[in-house]
Amino acid sequence: MLAVLSPGQGSQKPGFLLPWLDLPGAEARLRWWSALAGVDLVRLGTTADADEIKDTARTQPLLVAAALLAAEHLPGAIPSGHRGSGLYDVAVVAGHSVGELAAAALAGALPAESAITLAAVRGREMAAACAVEPTGMAAVLGGDRSDVLSAVDDHGLHAANHNGAGQIVVAGASARLEKFAGQPPAGARVAILQVAGAFHTPYMAPAEQALATVAAGVIPADPSKILLSNLDGAPVDHGRELLQRLVRQVTAPVRWDLCMHRLADLGVTGVLELPPAGTLAGLVKRELKNRGVPEIVTLKTPDDLPAARDLIARHGRVPRHEPTMQFRVVVSASAGIFEPAAGLAEGDPLSAGQVIGHVATRQGPVEVGAHDDGVLTEWLAHHDDPVAPGQPLARISGSPL
C-alpha cells in the first residue's frame, strides 16, 4: 500500500522549484496559480531569498503549489482544473498543516485551484493574526511526553504540533515562551523557532473565521482515497466534514504523530514525499522505527521522478493480468458497530453515493457510501463487527483499466 505525503511550512528552501520549471507546462501552471494566489509563485520558488519565502502569506500557497505541480508528473495524474482522484495507484494521502490542502486536492476532494486559493487566504489571514500581539513557537526535543505537556500547561502555552519522534512544538505569547525555554522540562531541549507567530493555537482565531467565510463558497467532493486528518489521524470520508476540519485546523493542534501511526495501522509499505521533500520522511523514519519503516522516496527535483514512479509501480496495486480491475476500499469514518445495508451482497452493482451500510456510534448511525460506480467485490467487515476509524469495510471494483 502506497501513501503520498505533502509537507508544511518550514520545509521550503530558496530556489527549490527552479529545476521543476524545465518541465513542459510547469511555468504556465505556476503563472496561473499565481493569479489565483495573488503572489508570484515563479519568483518565490526560484529567485526569492530565505527571508521572503519565510513570510507566511507567501509560503503557504507556494508549498501547496509545489506539491501539486510535482504530483502532475506522476502516473495517473489528473490535469489542473479537473476534479478527480488521480494517482490511481496511491491508496493514502496526508499533509502536514497547510500540506493538508494539497492532500485534499490529491484525494479528489478539491480542485487544485481551490486548494491554491484557500492556501493563499489561509496564509494571508494567519500572517495578519500574527501581527496582533507578539507570539511565537518553540521546538521541544526529548523529555517525558507527559512532563513536557504538563510544563506547557503550567506556562500558559499550547502544544501546537505533535510531530512524533520525541518532538513537540509549543506556541504562545513570546514572553511565556522565553520563560519556558529558560526552564525546560527535565531531559528536554527547547529551541525558539524563527516563525511569525503562534500557529495552530487560539491566537489564530481571526484567521480561522476569515478562512471559514471563504471556504463556505467551496463545494467539496468526498475523498476517493484514504485521506488522513491532522486533527486526529483518522480518515475523512465526507467532503463537507473535510472542509470543516481544514478550517478548524488553523487553531487546532497538528497531530502528525497520529497520522504516522495510522500509516502503520493501515499497512502502508511505501511512502512518497512531495516537494519540498525531506522533513516528513525524517519524522516517519524516526517515529516508525519500531513498527517497520516503509520504503521512502523523497521527490525533491525532477531527477527523482523515475524513483517515484518505480515506488508507485511496486507499492501501488498488485499487477494483474489484463484487463486489470481498479479497486477501491471503503473505510469507516467512526468507531462503532458496522451494519451492512439490508439485501446488499457481494457481486451487486453499486452507484456513486449509494449507502452500503452504517456504523452505529454513541452519537447515532453514520452512513457509509460508495465513492464511485462499481461492483461490491468483497465485504471486509460484517454484521455487528466492531470497527475503528479508518478500518476497511468493503472492496469495490471499478471498470477495467
Burial of 166 (0-12, 13-18, 19+ CB in 10 A): middle
Q: Is the model's pLDDT at 12 over the cut of 90?
A: yes
User: What cell does 46 get?
Assistant: 526560484
Give me the residues paired with residue 158 across strands: 171
At residue 242, what are phi and psi to the nearest 5 degrees? -60, -45
CA distances from 296 to 5, 273, 281, 308, 364 (A): 10, 8, 7, 9, 40
pLDDT digit string, tens, across residues 55-97: 999 999 999 999 999 999 997 765 555 554 458 789 999 999 9
Could you tell me the fold of the domain covering 325-400?
OB fold (Dihydrolipoamide Acetyltransferase, E2P) (2.40.50)
Burial zone of 178 (CB within 10 Å; 0-12 exposed, 13-18 middle, 19+ buried): middle
Q: 187 and 142 in contact (C-beta within 8 Å)?
A: yes
Beta-strand pair 167-173/158-164: antiparallel
Give residue limits of the domains in the chain.
2-128+202-315, 131-193, 325-400
Say what the pLDDT of residue 398 is: 62
pLDDT at 80: 53
Give the pLDDT confidence of 286-345 residue by residue, as tens digits.
Answer: 999 988 899 999 999 999 999 999 999 999 864 333 334 456 778 887 788 999 999 999
CATH topology of domain 131-193: Alpha-Beta Plaits (3.30.70)
pLDDT band at 399 (very low <50, low <70, confident <90, very high): very low
Query: pLDDT at residue 23 above 80?
Result: yes
Q: How many angstroms separate the CA atoms of 83 and 215, rounded?
A: 17
Among residues of the chain, what percentage have pLDDT more than 70?
93
Compute the distance between CA of residue 26 and CA of residue 69 in angstroms, rounded to an integer: 7
- pLDDT of res. 364: 86
Q: What is the Cα–Cα distance from 335 to 167, expressed in whole angstroms?
A: 28
pLDDT tens per residue, range 253-302: 999 999 999 999 999 999 999 999 999 999 999 999 988 899 999 999 99
pLDDT the model gives residue 78 = 59
Q: So what's the pLDDT on residue 86? A: 59
Distance from C-alpha of 55 to C-alpha of 358, rounded to nearest angstrom: 45
| Whole-angstrom distance, CA of residue 324 vs CA of residue 332 | 26
What number is the average pLDDT over the span 139-153? 93
2-128+202-315 topology per CATH: Malonyl-Coenzyme A Acyl Carrier Protein; domain 2 (3.40.366)
Mean pLDDT, residues 38-59 taken together? 96
Neighbour count for residue 24 (Cβ, 10 Å): 8
Q: Give catalytic residue positions.
A: 97, 200
Output the pLDDT for position 79.
55
Query: Strands of 158-164's sheet, edge to edge?
Result: 158-164, 167-173, 135-142, 188-193
Query: pLDDT digit string (tens) for 166-193?
Result: 899 999 999 999 999 999 999 999 999 9
